[in-house]
Amino acid sequence: MDHMEAGTDTAPVITMPLWEEQFRNQLRAFERLANRIPSDVAAVLQDPCVPWRIRTSGFAVVDSLDELTGPARGIVELPQGVLPGEPRRLFNLSNLRDTWALYGLLLWQASPDQLRAWINRDRLIRVWNPFIAPTAIRQVWENRFPELGPSLN
């Protein structure tokens, strides 16, 4: 009782610094988000060898390739803002390089609804290759959908 007043036996109140409270709130938000991420995607996002941009932004995968009902041919014009930061909006699906460019961007950056709207199942199977998307994303798609076949890693 050297430093405490006589007759008081309550512990001092310790307040949490604001930054620590913000950190804990952010951590809880990440935990809630992690519960909605499929386990195969979550495993990739936790791998320290996966590029930082993929780990922090994540990526979408559909449950079935049959959901991919986008156009198979013709000129695709993505609406403004579908892929933030992507200046290019016109892609000719008759051109293999354009198809790779479009599908690669979508596999990396699109939402599930955008994948369904802009990727065509049969066309994706035909053009699938080892360079269509970053390795981590490509491997999740290949593991989930054997019909894409393993690429040449």
Q: Using one digit for the tens of pLDDT, what is the confidence trace for 51-94?
A: 888 877 788 999 999 999 999 999 998 887 776 666 778 899 99
Whole-number Å distance between alpha carbons of 44 and 55: 8
User: Residue type at 63?
Assistant: D
Q: In whole angstroms, what separates CA 4 from the centre of its chain?
A: 55
Place of tokens 């991420």: 37
pTM for the whole thing?
0.71
Domain boundaries, the chain: 18-148
Contact between 108 and 26 under an 8 Å Cβ cutoff? The reply is no
